[in-house]
Amino acid sequence: MLEKFYPREYVDSTYSIDFDRFYREGYRGIIFDIDNTLVPHGAPADERACKLFRHLKELGFSCMLLSNNKEPRVKMFNDAVGVSYIHKAGKPKPAGYRRAMEAMGTDAGNTLFVGDQIFTDVYGANLAGIRTILVKPIHPKEEIQIVLKRYLEKIVLHFYLRRQKKKNRSEGR
C-alpha cells in the first residue's frame, strides 16, 4: 500500500550521488527539486550547487528544476545554475514531470528525479514512472505545512527502510 511513496534509493545528500555512474548506465536527464534538496529552503544557489550543475552539464546531462514555488524563487536559483525550470509545477501531479522530460528530450526510462519530500517529489515522480532518489533534507527550517508532512513521512520511511533491510538480507548484502 505504501510502495507508491517509496523511493528507488534513499541517500544522505544530493551531493553524495554518483551521477557519473548514472550517466554510464544510460540516464540522460535529471529533474531536481530545489528547496532542501539542493540548498536550504529559500536560499540562493551556492558554490556547491553551481559546481554540481557545471559537472552534470559536462557529463552531458539535461537538467530541469521542478518546483511548486512561484517563479521569482525558482528563477533566482536558476539564474546561478543555468538550466531549465518549471515553476508552480503542481507536484505530485505527474504532468509537470512529463513536461520536464519532454523539454529535456528524455523519457521515464532515462530520467532521474532527486528530491527531499515523499508526498510531493517522490510520489509524483513514481506516478510518472521516473527513477526516484530521495535525499535527506538539508536544513530543519521549513514551512509549517512541510513540517507537518514530515511526521507522516517518518512512518513511510520506517516501512521503506524495514523493507530495504529485508531485501538486503535476502540478497546477502
- 73-115 per-position pLDDT tens digit: 999 999 999 999 999 999 999 999 999 999 999 999 999 999 9
In the chain, where the domains are located? 2-170
- Which residues 6+ apart lie within 8 Å of 142 measured at CB? 36, 41, 150
DSSP of 7-19, one letter per residue?
-SEEES-GGG--H
**pLDDT tens digits for range 56-68:** 999 999 999 999 9
- Which residues 6+ apart lie within 8 Å of 106 measured at CB? 28, 29, 62
Question: What's the whole-model pTM score?
Answer: 0.90
pLDDT for position 166: 86
Domain 2-170 listed as CATH 1.20.1050.10 = no
C-alpha cell recorded at residue 146? 512541510
